[in-house]
Amino acid sequence: MSGRRIFCASGFLALCLSPLNAWAALVGGFDVIDTFHFLDARKGNPNAVRQGVFESFGIDLTPVPGTTVSASQGAFSGNVPYLNSPALPNQFFLAVPYDPARTGAIDLALTNPGINSGLTAHVLTRTLDGVAPPPFVTDVTLTGGGLAPTISWVRPAGYIPSSQSISIFDGTHLTPTGASTLIFNANISATASAFTIPNGVLAVGTRYGFGVQLDEHQATDVALSGTLVARSRSFVDFTTLAPNFQGTVALPTLGIDTNLNDNRGAPFQFNIAVSAGVPLLIDPVVASGYVYRTGAGDPLISSVALPDIGDPSFDLYLWNGSQFVFDSVLAPGVRHTFATPVDRFQVRGIDTALGVDPTNTLGFVTELVFAGDGRFTGTQTPITVAVPEPEAYSMLLAGLGMLGWMRQRRKSTAALPGILVNRV
C-alpha cells in the first residue's frame, strides 16, 4: 500500500526529505516502512468492520512501543490507533467517514518519548483526487467442513480489479479496543474467484469474518503505479463446520438497522442466484422470530421449512396488505407450501431459552423455495425479545396458554436438501 511520501522531522528546525533519498525512510529516528491513503467502500457485519464509504489511512513503522500517531488535514484532526494485528504488526490505521470535499494528503505526526529527544516527525500521504470505489462482489459461498474450507465469490460481469486480497477477522478474541482481530491477510490473483483457507488459521468454536477485497491501484503516475487508491470490501460472517460437512453455505452481508426501537435487528441482506423449485437454506442469528422478504423484482417464495432445534413448533404470519396476521402453526423439519407464492412472511415463537449458539453456522437453517428463476436480493430480519411491562404479565400468561394449544397442530410435507445460506 505504498505511496508518494514527504518526510519531515520537526523541532526548532523542520527538515523535509525527498522519498528518492536512500535514507528517506528514516525520519527523526522512526523507520517508516510504508504509508497508505485510500477510499474504502465496505459491506460490513458485526464480526468485522462498519459498512459505508470511508477514507482509510495510516502508516507502517518501527518502533511500535511508545509511539503515537496523529493525523490532520484541513479542519480534520484525530489520533491514528495502533492496529494491534498479528497480520500487520507495524501498522497504525484509522478510517473516517468519507467526505468528498476532503481528498488531500494526510499529515501524519509521529512521536515517541524515547526517539529523537521526543521531537515530532511528519509524513504526508498521497491524495485521493479523482478516486472512485470499485464495485462489490456477490454470491459469496463457503464449501466444505473442517478448518480449511473454501470461500468463493462472483465479481461483476466484465470487471477485473487491479488486484484482489482477502482478510480474516477473529470476532471471538477481540482487540483491547473491542474490535475484531485481523488474523490473516493475503494478496491473491486479480482474476481469482475462490480462496482455500490454510490450515492453522481457524479454530473450532470461534466466530470469524471474511473479507473479499477488490483493489484499484494508481496507474497514471509512474511513481505511484502499484499504489492502492480505492478498495471495496465485502464482509461475511462464518464459523467452522463439522469435518464431514460436504455442502455449500451461501454467506450474505448485513444491512443497516434503521429503527433501533422496533424490536428488530439489522436485516441479513442476500444477493444470490436462485432457481424455481430448488431449495435455498438461510441461517441467521437466533431470535424470537424473523421477517422474511424478497427484494424488488425477485421471484416470489412458494414454500418454507424450519429447522428442528428442539422447539416443537413455530407460528407463521402472512402479510394482508397492511400488517402480518396469524396463518398457521408450522412443525419443524417439514415443508409448508403457501396457497399462493408470497413476497414476505413472518415466523414467531422461537424459544430463545433453547440456547442455540448464534454463531453456529447451522444454528437455525430456514429453507426457502422460489416460484421462479432469478436472484434473491431480499432480507431476513431478526425479531428481538421485548420484555413486557408488569401489567402485561397476566395477558402474556393467558396468551401462552392459548399458544400451547395452537402448537398441537401440525402440517406434514416432504423436506428437501438444498444450498445452505449462512447469516452474516
DSSP 96-137: EE--TT--S--EEEEE-TTSGGG-EEEEE----TT--PPPPP
Q: Are 8 and 27 in contact (CB under 8 A)?
A: yes
Cell numbers at 360, concatenated: 453456529
Q: Which fold has domain 138-238?
A: Immunoglobulin-like (2.60.40)
Q: Which residues contact 57 (CB under 8 A, 6 or more apart)?
A: 35, 36, 37, 38, 71, 80, 93, 94, 95, 106, 108, 125
Q: How far apart are CA 228 and CA 213, in angstroms?
A: 12
d(CA 368, CA 165): 32
> The cell 436485516 sits on which residue?
267
Helix (H) or strand (E) holding 405: helix 393-406
Q: How many CA atoms lie less than 13 Å away from 68 in the CB half-sphere? A: 9
- 3-class DSSP assignment, residue 253: strand
pLDDT of the residue at 17:
35
CB–CB of 420/248 below 8 Å? yes
Mean pLDDT by 10 residues, the chain (424 residues): 40 31 63 92 71 92 95 94 90 93 92 91 91 89 90 92 92 82 92 96 88 82 64 85 77 66 67 86 63 93 87 92 95 93 91 51 71 91 54 35 36 34 36
Give, for 403, the enclosing helix (H) or strand (E): helix 393-406
Q: In what order do the strands lie in the sheet with 314-319?
A: 253-254, 268-269, 379-383, 289-293, 344-348, 314-319, 324-330
pTM: 0.64
Instruction: Please return the burial class of 343, using the count of CB atoms within 10 Å of its CB with bins 0-12, 13-18 and 19+.
Output: middle
Q: Strand 6-10 relative to strand 30-43: parallel, antiparallel, unpaired?
A: unpaired
pLDDT of residue 160: 93
CA 251 to chain centre: 10
Residue with cell 430456514: 366
**Strand arrangement of the beta sheet that strand 15-17 belongs to:** 15-17, 6-10, 120-124, 107-111, 68-73, 76-80
DSSP for 279-294, please give it.
Answer: -EEEE----SEEEEEP
Q: How far apart are CA 409 and CA 289, in angstroms?
A: 19
218 and 199 in contact (C-beta within 8 Å)? no
The burial of 190, by beta-carbon neighbours within 10 Å (0-12 exposed, 13-18 middle, 19 or more buried), is given as middle
Domain limits, the chain: 6-124, 138-238, 252-422
Q: What's the pLDDT at 378?
A: 87
Burial of 192 (0-12, 13-18, 19+ CB in 10 A): middle
Round to whole Å and give the CA distance between 92 and 243.
Answer: 37
Rounded Cα gap, residues 49 and 55, in angstroms = 13
Residue 286, pLDDT score: 52
Query: Minimal CA–CA distance to 149: which of 95, 88, 74, 202?
Result: 202
Tell me if 43 sits within 8 A of 234, measured CB to CB.
yes
Which residue is associated with the grid cell 450474505? 252
Longest dimension (CA), the chain: 84
Q: Which helix (H) or strand (E) holds 232?
A: strand 227-238
The C-alpha atoms of residue 171 and residue 47 are separated, in whole angstroms, by: 5
